[in-house]
Protein backbone atom coordinates (compact mmCIF):
# COMPACT_ATOMS: atom_id res chain seq x y z
CA UNK A 1 0.00 0.00 0.00
CA UNK A 2 2.77 2.38 0.98
CA UNK A 3 4.73 1.47 -2.10
CA UNK A 4 1.68 2.19 -4.24
CA UNK A 5 1.30 5.62 -2.72
CA UNK A 6 4.96 6.35 -3.36
CA UNK A 7 4.63 5.33 -7.00
CA UNK A 8 1.50 7.45 -7.27
CA UNK A 9 3.36 10.48 -5.96
CA UNK A 10 6.20 9.93 -8.40
CA UNK A 11 3.71 9.67 -11.23
CA UNK A 12 1.93 12.86 -10.16
CA UNK A 13 5.16 14.80 -9.96
CA UNK A 14 6.21 13.47 -13.34
CA UNK A 15 2.91 14.50 -14.95
CA UNK A 16 2.92 17.90 -13.25
CA UNK A 17 6.45 18.49 -14.55
CA UNK A 18 5.35 17.58 -18.05
CA UNK A 19 2.37 19.93 -17.84
CA UNK A 20 4.36 22.83 -16.42
CA UNK A 21 7.41 22.39 -18.63
CA UNK A 22 6.19 24.17 -21.81
CA UNK A 23 4.71 27.00 -19.74
CA UNK A 24 7.83 27.40 -17.63
CA UNK A 25 10.30 27.28 -20.47
CA UNK A 26 8.32 29.78 -22.53
CA UNK A 27 8.17 32.10 -19.53
CA UNK A 28 11.91 31.94 -18.82
CA UNK A 29 12.76 32.16 -22.49
CA UNK A 30 10.78 35.36 -22.90
CA UNK A 31 12.84 37.00 -20.13
CA UNK A 32 16.27 35.96 -21.34
CA UNK A 33 18.35 37.48 -24.07
CA UNK A 34 19.81 34.14 -25.14
CA UNK A 35 19.50 30.53 -24.14
CA UNK A 36 21.81 27.98 -25.67
CA UNK A 37 23.63 26.64 -22.61
CA UNK A 38 21.83 24.84 -19.80
CA UNK A 39 21.27 28.09 -17.93
CA UNK A 40 19.75 30.97 -19.87
CA UNK A 41 21.77 34.16 -19.86
CA UNK A 42 20.92 37.85 -19.66
CA UNK A 43 17.70 38.87 -17.97
CA UNK A 44 15.76 41.37 -20.04
CA UNK A 45 12.35 42.95 -20.21
CA UNK A 46 12.83 44.46 -23.64
CA UNK A 47 10.61 41.90 -25.38
CA UNK A 48 7.73 42.67 -23.09
CA UNK A 49 8.13 46.38 -23.58
CA UNK A 50 8.28 45.78 -27.31
CA UNK A 51 5.07 43.73 -27.23
CA UNK A 52 3.13 46.01 -24.94
CA UNK A 53 3.97 49.10 -26.93
CA UNK A 54 3.21 47.34 -30.20
CA UNK A 55 -0.10 48.87 -31.27
CA UNK A 56 -0.95 46.00 -33.61
CA UNK A 57 -0.58 43.43 -30.86
CA UNK A 58 -2.52 45.52 -28.39
CA UNK A 59 -5.35 46.05 -30.86
CA UNK A 60 -5.30 42.33 -31.57
CA UNK A 61 -5.83 41.50 -27.91
CA UNK A 62 -8.62 44.06 -27.77
CA UNK A 63 -10.29 42.63 -30.87
CA UNK A 64 -9.94 39.15 -29.41
CA UNK A 65 -11.72 40.29 -26.27
CA UNK A 66 -14.52 41.91 -28.24
CA UNK A 67 -14.92 38.94 -30.59
CA UNK A 68 -15.21 36.62 -27.59
CA UNK A 69 -17.40 38.87 -25.42
CA UNK A 70 -20.15 39.72 -27.93
CA UNK A 71 -21.10 36.11 -28.77
CA UNK A 72 -21.12 35.16 -25.09
CA UNK A 73 -23.48 38.03 -24.22
CA UNK A 74 -25.73 37.44 -27.24
CA UNK A 75 -25.96 33.71 -26.55
CA UNK A 76 -26.82 34.32 -22.92
CA UNK A 77 -29.63 36.71 -23.84
CA UNK A 78 -31.04 34.43 -26.55
CA UNK A 79 -31.05 31.37 -24.34
CA UNK A 80 -32.46 33.26 -21.36
CA UNK A 81 -35.39 34.50 -23.46
CA UNK A 82 -36.02 31.09 -24.99
CA UNK A 83 -35.82 29.27 -21.67
CA UNK A 84 -38.15 31.84 -20.11
CA UNK A 85 -40.75 30.96 -22.74
CA UNK A 86 -40.08 27.26 -22.25
CA UNK A 87 -40.56 27.36 -18.51
CA UNK A 88 -43.54 29.69 -18.42
CA UNK A 89 -45.47 28.93 -21.60
CA UNK A 90 -44.28 25.84 -23.45
CA UNK A 91 -42.79 23.19 -21.13
CA UNK A 92 -42.98 20.63 -23.94
CA UNK A 93 -40.46 22.53 -26.04
CA UNK A 94 -37.69 21.83 -23.60
CA UNK A 95 -36.47 18.59 -25.13
CA UNK A 96 -36.24 20.12 -28.59
CA UNK A 97 -34.28 23.02 -27.26
CA UNK A 98 -31.94 20.69 -25.46
CA UNK A 99 -31.42 18.74 -28.66
CA UNK A 100 -30.51 21.87 -30.60
CA UNK A 101 -28.09 22.94 -27.90
CA UNK A 102 -26.31 19.59 -27.79
CA UNK A 103 -25.70 19.28 -31.54
CA UNK A 104 -22.66 21.63 -31.53
CA UNK A 105 -20.77 19.23 -29.26
CA UNK A 106 -20.65 16.71 -32.11
CA UNK A 107 -20.53 19.03 -35.12
CA UNK A 108 -17.31 20.54 -33.94
CA UNK A 109 -15.00 23.41 -34.85
CA UNK A 110 -13.81 23.05 -38.38
CA UNK A 111 -16.83 21.18 -39.73
CA UNK A 112 -19.18 23.96 -38.67
CA UNK A 113 -16.78 26.74 -39.61
CA UNK A 114 -16.18 25.39 -43.11
CA UNK A 115 -19.86 24.73 -43.74
CA UNK A 116 -20.84 28.21 -42.58
CA UNK A 117 -18.15 29.67 -44.79
CA UNK A 118 -19.16 27.73 -47.89
CA UNK A 119 -22.83 28.55 -47.35
CA UNK A 120 -22.58 32.31 -47.02
CA UNK A 121 -19.25 33.45 -48.45
CA UNK A 122 -19.51 35.19 -51.77
CA UNK A 123 -23.15 36.14 -51.33
CA UNK A 124 -24.40 39.69 -51.30
CA UNK A 125 -26.46 39.55 -48.13
CA UNK A 126 -25.40 40.87 -44.75
CA UNK A 127 -24.72 37.25 -43.78
CA UNK A 128 -21.70 37.14 -46.05
CA UNK A 129 -19.94 39.65 -43.83
CA UNK A 130 -17.05 37.66 -42.42
CA UNK A 131 -17.10 39.28 -38.99
CA UNK A 132 -20.81 38.62 -38.54
CA UNK A 133 -20.23 35.06 -39.69
CA UNK A 134 -17.47 34.64 -37.12
CA UNK A 135 -19.51 36.08 -34.25
CA UNK A 136 -22.55 33.95 -35.04
CA UNK A 137 -20.47 30.78 -35.38
CA UNK A 138 -18.98 31.56 -31.99
CA UNK A 139 -22.54 31.87 -30.64
CA UNK A 140 -23.28 28.33 -31.79
CA UNK A 141 -20.21 27.13 -29.91
CA UNK A 142 -21.45 28.71 -26.70
CA UNK A 143 -24.79 26.91 -26.93
CA UNK A 144 -24.09 23.67 -25.02
CA UNK A 145 -22.39 25.17 -22.00
CA UNK A 146 -24.61 28.25 -21.78
CA UNK A 147 -27.78 26.20 -22.08
CA UNK A 148 -26.66 23.87 -19.31
CA UNK A 149 -25.68 26.73 -17.03
CA UNK A 150 -28.81 28.81 -17.51
CA UNK A 151 -31.14 25.83 -17.28
CA UNK A 152 -29.63 24.68 -14.00
CA UNK A 153 -29.79 28.16 -12.46
CA UNK A 154 -33.38 28.77 -13.57
CA UNK A 155 -34.55 25.50 -12.07
CA UNK A 156 -32.53 26.05 -8.90
CA UNK A 157 -34.45 29.24 -8.07
CA UNK A 158 -37.80 27.70 -9.03
CA UNK A 159 -38.64 30.30 -11.67
CA UNK A 160 -42.21 29.19 -12.22
CA UNK A 161 -43.30 29.67 -8.60
CA UNK A 162 -41.57 33.02 -8.27
CA UNK A 163 -43.24 34.30 -11.41
CA UNK A 164 -46.63 33.12 -10.23
CA UNK A 165 -46.11 35.01 -7.02
CA UNK A 166 -45.06 38.10 -8.93
CA UNK A 167 -48.06 37.96 -11.23
CA UNK A 168 -50.39 37.68 -8.23
CA UNK A 169 -48.98 40.98 -7.10
CA UNK A 170 -49.77 42.46 -10.48
CA UNK A 171 -46.50 42.21 -12.36
CA UNK A 172 -46.58 40.76 -15.86
CA UNK A 173 -44.62 37.56 -16.33
CA UNK A 174 -41.96 39.12 -18.50
CA UNK A 175 -41.56 42.10 -16.16
CA UNK A 176 -41.17 39.69 -13.27
CA UNK A 177 -38.64 37.69 -15.23
CA UNK A 178 -36.50 40.69 -16.03
CA UNK A 179 -36.74 42.32 -12.60
CA UNK A 180 -36.66 39.26 -10.33
CA UNK A 181 -35.38 36.12 -12.01
CA UNK A 182 -32.57 37.55 -14.10
CA UNK A 183 -30.92 39.46 -11.24
CA UNK A 184 -31.15 36.34 -9.05
CA UNK A 185 -29.51 33.97 -11.51
CA UNK A 186 -27.02 36.45 -12.95
CA UNK A 187 -24.10 35.65 -10.60
CA UNK A 188 -24.42 31.98 -11.53
CA UNK A 189 -24.37 32.79 -15.23
CA UNK A 190 -21.14 34.74 -14.90
CA UNK A 191 -19.28 31.52 -14.24
CA UNK A 192 -20.33 29.68 -17.40
CA UNK A 193 -20.02 32.90 -19.38
CA UNK A 194 -16.39 33.27 -18.30
CA UNK A 195 -15.59 29.68 -19.28
CA UNK A 196 -17.13 30.22 -22.71
CA UNK A 197 -15.26 33.50 -23.01
CA UNK A 198 -11.94 31.84 -22.24
CA UNK A 199 -12.64 29.16 -24.82
CA UNK A 200 -13.47 31.67 -27.54
CA UNK A 201 -10.55 33.93 -26.68
CA UNK A 202 -8.18 30.99 -27.15
CA UNK A 203 -9.68 29.99 -30.46
CA UNK A 204 -7.48 29.98 -33.52
CA UNK A 205 -9.02 27.35 -35.81
CA UNK A 206 -12.37 29.01 -36.46
CA UNK A 207 -11.06 32.51 -36.90
CA UNK A 208 -8.32 31.23 -39.22
CA UNK A 209 -10.92 29.56 -41.43
CA UNK A 210 -13.61 32.23 -41.42
CA UNK A 211 -12.00 35.63 -41.03
CA UNK A 212 -8.23 35.48 -40.75
CA UNK A 213 -7.59 38.25 -43.24
CA UNK A 214 -10.46 40.52 -42.22
CA UNK A 215 -10.17 40.46 -38.48
CA UNK A 216 -6.86 40.23 -36.71
CA UNK A 217 -6.96 39.05 -33.11
CA UNK A 218 -3.94 38.48 -30.90
CA UNK A 219 -3.84 34.83 -31.97
CA UNK A 220 -3.77 35.58 -35.68
CA UNK A 221 -1.31 38.40 -35.07
CA UNK A 222 1.11 35.98 -33.43
CA UNK A 223 0.57 33.50 -36.22
CA UNK A 224 1.49 36.09 -38.84
CA UNK A 225 4.63 37.12 -36.96
CA UNK A 226 5.72 33.60 -36.08
CA UNK A 227 8.95 33.89 -38.00
CA UNK A 228 9.97 37.04 -36.12
CA UNK A 229 12.29 37.08 -33.13
CA UNK A 230 11.48 34.02 -31.04
CA UNK A 231 11.92 35.72 -27.68
CA UNK A 232 9.53 38.52 -28.61
CA UNK A 233 7.20 35.85 -29.78
CA UNK A 234 7.40 34.01 -26.47
CA UNK A 235 6.61 37.27 -24.71
CA UNK A 236 3.43 37.52 -26.79
CA UNK A 237 2.48 33.94 -25.91
CA UNK A 238 3.12 34.64 -22.22
CA UNK A 239 0.92 37.75 -22.29
CA UNK A 240 -1.92 35.72 -23.81
CA UNK A 241 -1.38 33.04 -21.20
CA UNK A 242 -1.47 35.52 -18.35
CA UNK A 243 -4.73 36.84 -19.69
CA UNK A 244 -6.19 33.32 -19.79
CA UNK A 245 -4.89 32.75 -16.29
CA UNK A 246 -6.68 35.87 -15.12
CA UNK A 247 -9.98 34.64 -16.58
CA UNK A 248 -9.35 31.28 -14.94
CA UNK A 249 -8.89 32.84 -11.53
CA UNK A 250 -12.12 34.78 -12.07
CA UNK A 251 -13.93 31.54 -12.95
CA UNK A 252 -12.71 29.91 -9.75
CA UNK A 253 -13.66 32.92 -7.67
CA UNK A 254 -17.22 33.03 -9.01
CA UNK A 255 -17.58 29.26 -8.67
CA UNK A 256 -16.47 29.21 -5.04
CA UNK A 257 -18.74 32.15 -4.28
CA UNK A 258 -21.68 30.21 -5.68
CA UNK A 259 -20.74 27.17 -3.62
CA UNK A 260 -20.63 29.21 -0.43
CA UNK A 261 -24.04 30.62 -1.18
CA UNK A 262 -25.45 27.14 -1.64
CA UNK A 263 -24.01 26.05 1.66
CA UNK A 264 -25.69 28.91 3.46
CA UNK B 1 -57.72 33.84 -34.09
CA UNK B 2 -57.03 35.47 -30.77
CA UNK B 3 -55.43 32.26 -29.58
CA UNK B 4 -52.90 32.34 -32.39
CA UNK B 5 -52.20 36.00 -31.76
CA UNK B 6 -51.35 35.59 -28.09
CA UNK B 7 -49.38 32.41 -28.69
CA UNK B 8 -47.57 34.10 -31.53
CA UNK B 9 -46.41 36.80 -29.20
CA UNK B 10 -45.12 34.24 -26.77
CA UNK B 11 -43.30 32.40 -29.55
CA UNK B 12 -41.36 35.59 -30.24
CA UNK B 13 -39.20 34.77 -27.24
CA UNK B 14 -37.73 31.91 -29.25
CA UNK B 15 -37.00 34.10 -32.22
CA UNK B 16 -33.41 35.22 -31.53
CA UNK B 17 -32.36 31.75 -30.43
CA UNK B 18 -33.97 30.05 -33.41
CA UNK B 19 -32.59 32.62 -35.84
CA UNK B 20 -29.01 31.88 -34.88
CA UNK B 21 -29.57 28.13 -34.66
CA UNK B 22 -31.28 27.90 -38.04
CA UNK B 23 -29.02 30.30 -39.93
CA UNK B 24 -25.70 29.13 -38.53
CA UNK B 25 -26.30 25.51 -37.60
CA UNK B 26 -29.06 23.90 -39.65
CA UNK B 27 -28.73 25.72 -42.96
CA UNK B 28 -24.94 25.31 -43.17
CA UNK B 29 -25.20 21.69 -42.15
CA UNK B 30 -27.89 20.97 -44.76
CA UNK B 31 -25.81 22.84 -47.31
CA UNK B 32 -22.81 20.71 -46.46
CA UNK B 33 -24.83 17.52 -46.89
CA UNK B 34 -26.09 18.77 -50.24
CA UNK B 35 -22.62 19.83 -51.40
CA UNK B 36 -21.18 16.44 -50.62
CA UNK B 37 -23.62 14.62 -52.91
CA UNK B 38 -23.68 17.19 -55.72
CA UNK B 39 -21.50 16.17 -58.63
CA UNK B 40 -19.43 18.48 -60.79
CA UNK B 41 -22.24 18.60 -63.35
CA UNK B 42 -24.76 19.73 -60.75
CA UNK B 43 -26.79 16.55 -60.35
CA UNK B 44 -26.83 13.98 -57.58
CA UNK B 45 -23.64 11.98 -57.46
CA UNK B 46 -21.40 10.16 -55.04
CA UNK B 47 -18.22 11.06 -56.90
CA UNK B 48 -16.77 13.00 -53.97
CA UNK B 49 -17.09 10.01 -51.70
CA UNK B 50 -15.62 7.82 -54.42
CA UNK B 51 -12.68 10.25 -54.56
CA UNK B 52 -12.24 10.16 -50.79
CA UNK B 53 -12.14 6.39 -50.69
CA UNK B 54 -10.00 5.84 -53.77
CA UNK B 55 -7.31 8.54 -53.83
CA UNK B 56 -4.29 7.65 -51.69
CA UNK B 57 -3.89 11.18 -50.32
CA UNK B 58 -7.34 11.17 -48.66
CA UNK B 59 -7.03 7.59 -47.52
CA UNK B 60 -3.72 8.41 -45.87
CA UNK B 61 -5.30 11.52 -44.30
CA UNK B 62 -7.97 9.32 -42.77
CA UNK B 63 -5.40 6.71 -41.74
CA UNK B 64 -3.02 9.24 -40.20
CA UNK B 65 -5.80 10.99 -38.33
CA UNK B 66 -7.17 7.72 -36.98
CA UNK B 67 -3.73 6.54 -35.98
CA UNK B 68 -2.59 9.63 -34.07
CA UNK B 69 -6.01 10.05 -32.42
CA UNK B 70 -6.19 6.43 -31.39
CA UNK B 71 -2.62 6.36 -30.08
CA UNK B 72 -2.87 9.61 -28.15
CA UNK B 73 -6.25 8.56 -26.72
CA UNK B 74 -5.02 5.15 -25.58
CA UNK B 75 -1.79 6.42 -24.05
CA UNK B 76 -3.60 9.48 -22.68
CA UNK B 77 -6.26 7.34 -21.06
CA UNK B 78 -3.66 5.14 -19.40
CA UNK B 79 -1.72 8.14 -18.07
CA UNK B 80 -4.95 9.81 -16.95
CA UNK B 81 -6.25 6.73 -15.21
CA UNK B 82 -3.13 6.28 -13.07
CA UNK B 83 -2.93 10.01 -12.46
CA UNK B 84 -6.58 10.24 -11.38
CA UNK B 85 -6.09 7.24 -9.11
CA UNK B 86 -3.17 8.99 -7.41
CA UNK B 87 -4.94 12.36 -7.19
CA UNK B 88 -7.99 10.84 -5.48
CA UNK B 89 -5.78 9.57 -2.65
CA UNK B 90 -4.36 13.02 -1.87
CA UNK B 91 -5.36 15.11 1.11
CA UNK B 92 -8.06 17.68 0.45
CA UNK B 93 -5.72 20.63 0.19
CA UNK B 94 -3.18 18.97 -2.09
CA UNK B 95 -5.99 17.58 -4.19
CA UNK B 96 -7.55 20.95 -4.85
CA UNK B 97 -4.12 22.35 -5.66
CA UNK B 98 -3.48 19.61 -8.20
CA UNK B 99 -6.95 19.96 -9.70
CA UNK B 100 -6.37 23.70 -10.21
CA UNK B 101 -3.15 22.87 -12.03
CA UNK B 102 -5.09 20.52 -14.31
CA UNK B 103 -7.80 23.13 -14.77
CA UNK B 104 -5.28 25.74 -15.75
CA UNK B 105 -3.40 23.52 -18.19
CA UNK B 106 -6.64 22.32 -19.76
CA UNK B 107 -7.25 25.86 -21.04
CA UNK B 108 -3.69 26.00 -22.31
CA UNK B 109 -4.29 24.71 -25.82
CA UNK B 110 -4.26 25.63 -29.45
CA UNK B 111 -1.82 28.23 -30.66
CA UNK B 112 -0.02 29.17 -27.42
CA UNK B 113 0.52 25.50 -26.55
CA UNK B 114 1.85 24.61 -29.98
CA UNK B 115 4.23 27.56 -29.98
CA UNK B 116 5.46 26.65 -26.52
CA UNK B 117 6.37 23.23 -27.85
CA UNK B 118 8.12 24.84 -30.79
CA UNK B 119 10.09 26.94 -28.29
CA UNK B 120 11.19 23.79 -26.51
CA UNK B 121 11.53 21.15 -29.19
CA UNK B 122 11.34 22.95 -32.55
CA UNK B 123 14.29 23.06 -34.93
CA UNK B 124 15.94 25.79 -32.87
CA UNK B 125 14.12 24.93 -29.67
CA UNK B 126 15.75 25.45 -26.31
CA UNK B 127 16.11 21.77 -25.44
CA UNK B 128 17.28 20.87 -28.90
CA UNK B 129 20.02 23.55 -28.84
CA UNK B 130 21.10 22.57 -25.32
CA UNK B 131 21.26 18.90 -26.29
CA UNK B 132 23.28 19.76 -29.37
CA UNK B 133 25.75 21.61 -27.19
CA UNK B 134 25.95 18.70 -24.79
CA UNK B 135 25.98 16.07 -27.51
CA UNK B 136 22.83 14.35 -26.26
CA UNK B 137 21.56 12.95 -29.53
CA UNK B 138 17.99 11.68 -28.84
CA UNK B 139 16.81 15.22 -28.07
CA UNK B 140 19.17 17.01 -30.43
CA UNK B 141 17.55 15.33 -33.41
CA UNK B 142 14.00 15.51 -32.15
CA UNK B 143 11.63 16.10 -35.03
CA UNK B 144 8.56 17.91 -33.77
CA UNK B 145 7.27 18.39 -37.28
CA UNK B 146 6.18 14.80 -37.84
CA UNK B 147 3.36 12.55 -36.71
CA UNK B 148 5.56 10.93 -34.07
CA UNK B 149 6.93 14.26 -32.88
CA UNK B 150 3.51 15.83 -32.70
CA UNK B 151 2.34 13.00 -30.50
CA UNK B 152 3.78 14.75 -27.43
CA UNK B 153 1.60 17.82 -28.04
CA UNK B 154 -1.48 15.67 -28.53
CA UNK B 155 -0.69 13.80 -25.33
CA UNK B 156 -0.30 17.13 -23.56
CA UNK B 157 -3.87 18.21 -24.16
CA UNK B 158 -5.25 14.75 -23.40
CA UNK B 159 -3.81 14.68 -19.87
CA UNK B 160 -5.68 17.47 -18.03
CA UNK B 161 -8.96 16.88 -19.84
CA UNK B 162 -9.04 13.11 -19.29
CA UNK B 163 -7.92 13.31 -15.68
CA UNK B 164 -10.54 15.91 -14.81
CA UNK B 165 -13.19 13.66 -16.35
CA UNK B 166 -11.95 10.54 -14.56
CA UNK B 167 -11.45 11.92 -11.03
CA UNK B 168 -15.20 11.99 -10.21
CA UNK B 169 -15.53 8.40 -11.48
CA UNK B 170 -13.23 7.13 -8.74
CA UNK B 171 -15.84 8.16 -6.19
CA UNK B 172 -17.92 5.23 -7.42
CA UNK B 173 -15.40 2.76 -6.03
CA UNK B 174 -16.48 2.26 -2.42
CA UNK B 175 -13.86 1.79 0.24
CA UNK B 176 -15.80 -1.17 1.64
CA UNK B 177 -15.39 -3.11 -1.60
CA UNK B 178 -11.69 -2.70 -1.38
CA UNK B 179 -11.67 -3.88 2.22
CA UNK B 180 -13.94 -6.82 1.46
CA UNK B 181 -11.74 -7.83 -1.46
CA UNK B 182 -8.61 -7.57 0.67
CA UNK B 183 -10.21 -9.77 3.35
CA UNK B 184 -10.83 -12.39 0.70
CA UNK B 185 -7.18 -12.27 -0.21
CA UNK B 186 -7.62 -10.35 -3.45
CA UNK B 187 -4.56 -8.39 -4.51
CA UNK B 188 -4.55 -4.79 -5.61
CA UNK B 189 -4.05 -5.53 -9.29
CA UNK B 190 -6.72 -8.20 -9.30
CA UNK B 191 -9.13 -5.86 -7.53
CA UNK B 192 -8.78 -3.23 -10.22
CA UNK B 193 -9.09 -5.62 -13.13
CA UNK B 194 -11.99 -7.60 -11.69
CA UNK B 195 -13.96 -4.93 -9.83
CA UNK B 196 -12.63 -1.40 -10.15
CA UNK B 197 -12.27 -1.01 -13.89
CA UNK B 198 -15.54 -2.82 -14.78
CA UNK B 199 -17.46 -0.58 -12.37
CA UNK B 200 -15.85 2.51 -13.82
CA UNK B 201 -16.16 1.33 -17.41
CA UNK B 202 -19.07 3.67 -18.31
CA UNK B 203 -17.04 6.72 -17.23
CA UNK B 204 -13.90 5.39 -18.88
CA UNK B 205 -15.77 4.90 -22.14
CA UNK B 206 -17.29 8.38 -21.92
CA UNK B 207 -13.83 9.83 -21.40
CA UNK B 208 -12.46 7.76 -24.26
CA UNK B 209 -15.08 9.20 -26.62
CA UNK B 210 -14.33 12.77 -25.56
CA UNK B 211 -10.58 12.39 -25.87
CA UNK B 212 -10.83 10.70 -29.24
CA UNK B 213 -13.11 13.35 -30.71
CA UNK B 214 -10.85 16.02 -29.25
CA UNK B 215 -7.76 14.57 -30.90
CA UNK B 216 -9.41 13.76 -34.21
CA UNK B 217 -10.72 17.28 -34.72
CA UNK B 218 -7.66 19.14 -33.45
CA UNK B 219 -6.80 21.61 -36.18
CA UNK B 220 -4.47 24.24 -34.76
CA UNK B 221 -1.65 21.94 -33.69
CA UNK B 222 -1.25 19.98 -36.95
CA UNK B 223 -1.83 23.12 -39.00
CA UNK B 224 0.99 24.98 -37.28
CA UNK B 225 3.40 22.06 -37.07
CA UNK B 226 3.10 20.05 -40.25
CA UNK B 227 0.53 21.89 -42.35
CA UNK B 228 0.43 19.94 -45.59
CA UNK B 229 3.56 17.86 -45.46
CA UNK B 230 1.64 15.03 -43.83
CA UNK B 231 -2.02 14.56 -44.64
CA UNK B 232 -4.45 14.84 -41.74
CA UNK B 233 -8.24 15.07 -41.96
CA UNK B 234 -8.91 18.45 -40.28
CA UNK B 235 -6.19 20.24 -42.23
CA UNK B 236 -7.33 18.69 -45.51
CA UNK B 237 -10.94 19.69 -44.85
CA UNK B 238 -10.05 23.30 -44.11
CA UNK B 239 -7.81 23.39 -47.20
CA UNK B 240 -10.71 22.47 -49.44
CA UNK B 241 -12.44 25.70 -48.41
CA UNK B 242 -9.73 28.26 -47.77
CA UNK B 243 -6.57 26.72 -49.16
CA UNK B 244 -4.15 28.30 -51.57
CA UNK B 245 -4.90 25.62 -54.10
CA UNK B 246 -8.19 25.32 -55.97
CA UNK B 247 -11.14 25.29 -53.59
CA UNK B 248 -13.32 22.20 -53.72
CA UNK B 249 -16.25 22.55 -51.33
CA UNK B 250 -17.87 19.33 -52.55
CA UNK B 251 -14.87 17.24 -51.67
CA UNK B 252 -14.38 19.15 -48.42
CA UNK B 253 -17.97 18.44 -47.43
CA UNK B 254 -17.52 14.76 -48.20
CA UNK B 255 -14.40 14.70 -46.01
CA UNK B 256 -16.31 16.51 -43.25
CA UNK B 257 -19.01 13.88 -43.37
CA UNK B 258 -16.42 11.10 -43.20
CA UNK B 259 -14.92 12.76 -40.12
CA UNK B 260 -18.35 13.17 -38.56
CA UNK B 261 -19.12 9.51 -39.32
CA UNK B 262 -15.90 8.44 -37.59
CA UNK B 263 -16.80 10.47 -34.49
CA UNK B 264 -20.33 9.10 -34.42
CA UNK B 265 -19.07 5.53 -34.93
CA UNK B 266 -16.63 5.85 -32.02
CA UNK B 267 -19.29 7.45 -29.80
CA UNK B 268 -21.71 4.68 -30.79
CA UNK B 269 -19.20 1.95 -30.01
CA UNK B 270 -18.30 3.44 -26.64
CA UNK B 271 -22.03 3.66 -25.92
CA UNK B 272 -22.50 -0.04 -26.63
CA UNK B 273 -19.64 -0.93 -24.28
CA UNK B 274 -21.09 1.48 -21.71
CA UNK B 275 -24.50 -0.22 -21.87
CA UNK B 276 -22.93 -3.62 -21.51
CA UNK B 277 -21.20 -2.62 -18.27
CA UNK B 278 -24.17 -0.71 -16.93
CA UNK B 279 -26.39 -3.80 -17.15
CA UNK B 280 -25.46 -5.17 -13.77
CA UNK B 281 -25.78 -1.80 -12.05
CA UNK B 282 -29.43 -0.96 -12.36
CA UNK B 283 -31.46 -3.93 -11.29
Buried residues in A120-156 as b, exposed as e (16+ CB within 10 A)? bbeeeeebeebeebbbbbbbbbbbbbbbebbbebbee
What does the pLDDT look like over B223-234, one tens digit per residue? 888 877 888 899
ipTM: 0.83
Q: What is the full per-residue pLDDT of chain B (283 aa) written as tens digits?
A: 556 666 777 788 888 999 999 999 899 999 889 888 888 777 888 888 888 898 888 999 999 999 999 999 999 999 999 999 888 888 888 888 888 888 888 887 788 888 888 888 887 788 888 888 887 777 777 888 888 888 999 999 899 999 999 998 888 888 888 888 888 888 888 888 888 888 888 889 989 999 999 899 899 899 888 877 888 899 888 888 886 667 788 888 999 999 999 999 999 999 898 888 877 665 4
Residue B253: its chain A contacts at CB < 8 A? Answer: 114-115, 118
Q: How far apart are CA A31 and CA A9, in angstroms?
A: 32
* A81 located within any domain: yes
- For residue A47, tell me if it sits in a domain: no
Q: What is the pLDDT of residue A1?
A: 54
B129–chain A Cβ distance below 8 A for any pair: yes
Q: Where are the alpha helices (DSSP H) in chain B?
A: 2-11, 15-21, 27-36, 47-54, 56-88, 92-106, 110-121, 126-134, 137-140, 147-166, 175-183, 188-191, 197-216, 220-225, 233-242, 249-278
Instruction: Tell me how many residue pairs between chain A and chain B have CB atoms under 8 A apart.
Output: 225
Dist CA A43 CA A22 (whole Å): 19
Cα–Cα distance measured from residue B36 to residue B104, given in angstroms and rounded to the nearest whole number? 39
Cβ-contact A244, A201 below 8 angstroms: yes
List the domain range (segments joined by +) for residue A251.
54-263
pLDDT given for residue B154 in this prediction:
92
What domains, with CATH codes, occur in chain B?
A: 44-105+161-278 (1.10.3720.10)
Facing residues of B38 across strands?
B44
A107 touches chain B (CB under 8 A): yes
Average pLDDT taken over every residue of chain B: 86
> Residue B18 to residues A97, A100, A206, B40: CA-CA distances in angstroms?
9, 9, 22, 33
Interval A29-50 mean pLDDT: 74
Instruction: Specify the number of domains making up chain A.
Output: 1
Residue A87 · residue A160 · CB < 8 Å: yes
pLDDT at A264 over 70: no
Q: Whose CA is closest to B204, among B262, B158, B164, B165?
A: B165
Domain presence at residue A40: no
Is the pLDDT at A163 greater than 70? The verdict is yes
pLDDT of residue B66: 94
Q: How many CB atoms lie within 10 A of CB B272?
A: 9
> How far away is chain B from the Cα of A172, in angstroms, using its nearest Cα?
13
**Rounded-to-integer distance, Cα A232 and Cα A70, Å:** 30
CATH number at residue A123: 1.10.3720.10
Which of B13, B127, B217 is facing A109, going by the closest CB pair? Answer: B217
Q: Using the beta-carbon criterion (under 8 Å), do A203 and B110 form an inter-chain contact?
A: yes
Contact B216, B65 (CB under 8 A): yes
Task: Quote the pLDDT of residue B245.
Answer: 64
End-to-end CA distance of chain A: 39
Whether residue A85 lies within 8 A of chain B, CB to CB, comes out as yes
Sign of the dihedral defined by the CA atoms of residues B208, B81, A147, A97, in that order: positive
The reported pLDDT for the residue numbered A147 is 92
Q: Does B156 touch chain A (CB under 8 A)?
A: yes
Burial of A54 (0-12, 13-18, 19+ CB in 10 A): middle
Amino acid sequence: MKKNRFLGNVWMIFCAAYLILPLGVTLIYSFSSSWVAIVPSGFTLEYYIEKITDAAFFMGVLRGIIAAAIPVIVTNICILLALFAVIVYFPKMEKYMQMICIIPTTINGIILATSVLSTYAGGNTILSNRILMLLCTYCIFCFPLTYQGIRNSLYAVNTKRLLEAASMLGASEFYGFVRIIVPTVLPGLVNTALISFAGLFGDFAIIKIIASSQFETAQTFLYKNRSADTQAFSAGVVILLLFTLLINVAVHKTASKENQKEKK
Amino acid sequence: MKHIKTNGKKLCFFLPFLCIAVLFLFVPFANMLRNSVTGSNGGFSLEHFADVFSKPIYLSAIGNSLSISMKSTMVGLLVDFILAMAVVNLTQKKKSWYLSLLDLTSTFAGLPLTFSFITILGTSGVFVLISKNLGFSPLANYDLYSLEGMFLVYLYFQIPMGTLLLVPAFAEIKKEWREAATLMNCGSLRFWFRIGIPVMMPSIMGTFGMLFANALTAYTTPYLLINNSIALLPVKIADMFVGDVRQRPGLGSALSIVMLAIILAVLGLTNIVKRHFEKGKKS
